[in-house]
Amino acid sequence: MCSHSAVLAIVKLAGPGTGLTRVTDEQSICLERQLQVKVMAMDNQHKRLFDLINEFNDAVHSGRGRDADSDVLLRLIDYTRYHFSAEEKLMERLKYAGLPTHRGEHRYLSEKVQAFKKEFDAGNTNIAPELLKFLGKWLTNHIQVVDQKYSDFMNTHGVH
Ligand SMILES: [Fe+2]
């Protein structure tokens, strides 16, 4: 009942400091459903974001060093920027009334992550668990609450 063709990844973070528990397969399938906005391009981009968060989590725990971790983090930040821009362009094109508030949310996350990245690059790598926890929680909540608000609007405008 929770299956869907565009299956989203779920944050798999777990362990000391992340504050997130690894979910069972059964639970994750249902969580994935909750995270779908029923606009295929956006669902796919959200999935990619979770993949990158998980990749950063794996990199941090693999002990390959700061440069390798920083590289993944940079890709995550770049992709977040790309996704936010794509989502905002779609809302702009369809004259979605919630765009200004939504854009503000995106800006908040971008600024927070930039600040984390600065600290990380300055050598304070022990902020990684905090960053991962923040990203995982923020993104999950943002998709479930803020992005969900445009779901029906997009669908009724022929965007699926
Ligand atoms: Fe969004």
Q: What is the pTM of this model?
A: 0.87
In angstroms, what is the span from residue 136 Cα to ligand 1's centroid?
14
Q: pLDDT value at position 32?
A: 77
* Residue where the block lists tokens 């009724």: 156
Stretch among 31-35, 59-63, 78-82, 135-139 having the lowest mean pLDDT: 31-35
In angstroms, what is the span from residue 102 Cα to ligand 1's centroid?
6
Mean pLDDT (the chain, rounded): 86
In angstroms, what is the span from residue 122 Cα to ligand 1's centroid?
29
Structure confidence by residue, pLDDT tens digits, 124-136: 988 888 888 888 8
The domains found in the chain, sorted by start residue, are 25-156 (1.20.120.50)
pLDDT surpassing 50 at residue 5: no
CB 35 within 8 A of CB 61: no
In angstroms, what is the span from residue 146 Cα to ligand 1's centroid?
6
Q: pLDDT value at position 3?
A: 43
| Alpha-carbon distances of 151 from 82, 98, 136, 158, rounded to whole Å | 20, 12, 21, 11
